[in-house]
Amino acid sequence: MMDGFYAGYFTGISGQGQAIFAMKDGALVGADAAGVTFDGDYSLANTGEMKGLVTVKVPAGISIVQGVTAGSQGLTYKVPITLPADFANRPFITVETPMGAVNVRLVKVRDFK
């Protein structure tokens, strides 16, 4: 089952980062220590593959792993995601974003009770 809390580890052209995520009943939310937030929806295919759309909001002046620094108004962009059913067992998955590619590793911390 995909629902639960996840630690996310990211690498991009300009660095690395971490975030925490919760996924439940088709909703995905998360944040990192710099204040970047992730908010999206997903659905599961019969194969277990997850498809969705995540809105990323970057606060003003924050640099992200893709090598982009948000301007004075911050930065918001949408990322279509497709994760294989076994994503938590893979060393990483490459996610293509409008700002550049990011290698993502998601590790399930625990289920919801």
pLDDT digits (tens, 9 = 90+) for 62-78: 999 999 999 999 999 99
Sign of the C-alpha dihedral computed for residues 48, 49, 52 and 55 taken in this order: positive
d(CA 108, CA 105): 10
pLDDT interval class at 47 (50, 70, 90): confident
How many domains does the chain contain in total?
1
Per-residue model confidence (pLDDT) at position 48: 85
pTM of the model: 0.93
Residue 42's domain comprises 4-110
pLDDT over threshold 80, residue 1: no
Per-residue model confidence (pLDDT) at position 43: 94
Q: Under 8 Å CB-to-CB from 93, ≥6 apart: which residues?
A: 83, 84, 87, 103, 104, 105, 106
- One-letter amino acid at 62 equals I
